[in-house]
DNA sequence: TTTGGTGCAAAAGGTTTGCACGGCG
DNA sequence: CGCCGTGCAAACCTTTTGCACCAAA
């Protein structure tokens, strides 16, 4: 997963200005490996920037996603973001339902599927949901972020 | 997949009133095997019911989903609905990007995934997207519904 | 200094809710 | 005839857009 520095460098190289807010965003996603909703990000950022507006958060999330430093995924309860995987080969994810951190799965089932021969495959989605090692015993809410982020879905 | 009659029977058994609108909804989902958004359904129904309101469509979609006759899935471009599968065993789907019809896949990759041993699996999602037999040659828009429903995602 | 980022306000979907009336059972 | 389903209006939530001001480079 991209580090804080890699995120900042990528944004800088693309000519984006590195504002204080964007540094904080980079750090948030660089250090937190789970998925975050726009609201999660807004609430987190609000603690530092009192006059923060929702639209700036959305704008920055969008810019960072278009730049490729963030990945955007649709869940049942809405859009979420996390730092892009730095793994360059195709892989899937296990996603923790508690802390929403992701763990790579190298195995890909796409060629094993009993496709109707006539079906021309374009893309696929394979995701495993459950509880990671840390979240099985301690269902307490002590996570990396002090805001409550888990529990969703 | 549930037939028009099965849908109506299920609704009737649950004490729901079978209004003309609900009959039409049952027929729509009973005969159309693809995913439809609330907007798709609204536009289709509008052709028959001039004074139709959006909220009634939403209410009925929700009721039918809670009753179990409709399945609700989140795509990148929003929520969509289709008649529930009548297959009683676990399976996955191939979904046509053109007509949005679905085809069952019996194969399930869940036990083959190289899980971090510590990860406690709760659920999973495996979907294959592409073009079905009918939609490969004819990219024309002749589908079951006369409204444009495909192309999405 | 110049261009791009931010906050504010408002708009734009999509979905839900309260209420009164009309139709199903 | 009683209660549920419907249409209407409005609220609500998330996301986007226009504009003027301020700050990064």
Which tens digit of pLDDT belongs to each residue from A41-91? 999 999 999 999 999 999 999 999 999 999 999 998 999 999 999 877 899
Mark yes or no for CB contact A132/B119 under 8 Å: yes
Who contacts A82 (Cβ-Cβ below 8 Å, separation ≥6)? A1, A29, A32, A33, A34, A35, A36, A70, A71, A73, A102
Who contacts B116 (Cβ-Cβ below 8 Å, separation ≥6)? A94, A103, A132, A133
By DSSP bridging, strand A120-131 and strand A92-96 are: parallel
Spatial distance between the Cα atoms of A64 and A84, rounded to a whole number of angstroms: 10
| Percentage of chain B modeled with pLDDT above 70 | 88
Instruction: Show which positions of strand C are touched by protein (CB under 7 A).
Output: 4-10, 14-18, 23-25
By DSSP bridging, strand B78-83 and strand B92-96 are: unpaired
Spatial distance between the Cα atoms of A63 and A69, rounded to a whole number of angstroms: 9
pTM for this structure?
0.84
Interatomic separation, CA of residue B68 and C1' of nucleotide C24, rounded (Å)? 22
> By the 8 A CB rule, do A1 and A83 touch?
yes
Task: Report the nucleotide nearest the CA of residue A20, measured to C1'.
Answer: D24
Interatomic separation, CA of residue B78 and C1' of nucleotide D13, rounded (Å)? 15
**Quick one: average pLDDT of A10-22?**
97
What is the pLDDT, as a whole number, of residue A112? 81
Which three-class secondary structure state does DSSP give residue B29?
A: helix
A36 has pLDDT over 80: yes
Question: CA torsion, points A111, A117, A121, A125, in degrees to nearest 10?
Answer: -50
Task: Report the nucleotide nearest the CA of residue B59, measured to C1'.
Answer: C16
Is any atom of nucleic acid chain C found less than 7 Å from the CB of residue A24?
no
Which parts of chain B sit beneath pLDDT 50?
139-153
Residues of A in contact with B76 (CB under 8 A): 74
Spatial distance between the Cα atoms of B65 and B3, rounded to a whole number of angstroms: 15
What is the pLDDT, as a whole number, of residue B118? 83
Q: Angle at Cα A26 formed by Cα A22 and Cα A27, nearest 5°?
A: 115
**Chain A residues in contact with chain B using a Cβ-Cβ cutoff of 8 Å:** 74-76, 92, 94, 96-97, 103, 105-107, 109-110, 112-116, 118-133, 136
**Chain B residues in contact with chain A using a Cβ-Cβ cutoff of 8 Å:** 74-76, 92, 94, 96-97, 103, 105-107, 109-110, 112-116, 118-133, 136
Residues of A in contact with B130 (CB under 8 A): 119-123
- Angle at which helix B54-67 crosses helix B38-46, to 10 degrees, equals 120
A50-71 burial, b if ≥16 CB within 10 A, otherwise e? eebeeebbeebbebbeeeebbb
What is the pLDDT, as a whole number, of residue B116? 67
Spatial distance between the Cα atoms of B120 and B110, rounded to a whole number of angstroms: 12
Spatial distance between the Cα atoms of A3 and A13, rounded to a whole number of angstroms: 15
Range name among A23-27, A127-131, B4-8 with the lowest pLDDT average: A127-131
């Amino acid at each position: 997963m991209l580090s804080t520095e890699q995120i900042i460098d990528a944004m800088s190289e693309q000519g984006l200005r590195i504002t204080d807010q964007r540094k904080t965003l980079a750090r948030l996603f660089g250090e937190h490996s789970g998925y975050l909703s726009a609201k999660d990000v807004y609430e987190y950022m609000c603690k530092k920037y009192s006059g923060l507006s929702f639209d700036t958060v959305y704008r920055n999330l969008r810019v960072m996603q278009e730049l490729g430093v963030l990945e955007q995924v649709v869940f049942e309860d809405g859009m979420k973001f996390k730092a892009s995987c730095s793994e360059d080969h195709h892989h899937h994810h296990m996603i923790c339902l508690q802390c929403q951190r992701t763990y790579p799965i190298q195995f890909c089932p796409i060629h094993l599927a009993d496709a109707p021969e006539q079906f021309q495959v374009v893309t696929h989605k394979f995701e495993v949901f459950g509880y990671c090692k840390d979240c099985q015993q301690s269902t307490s809410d002590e996570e990396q972020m002090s805001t409550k982020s888990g529990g969703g879905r």
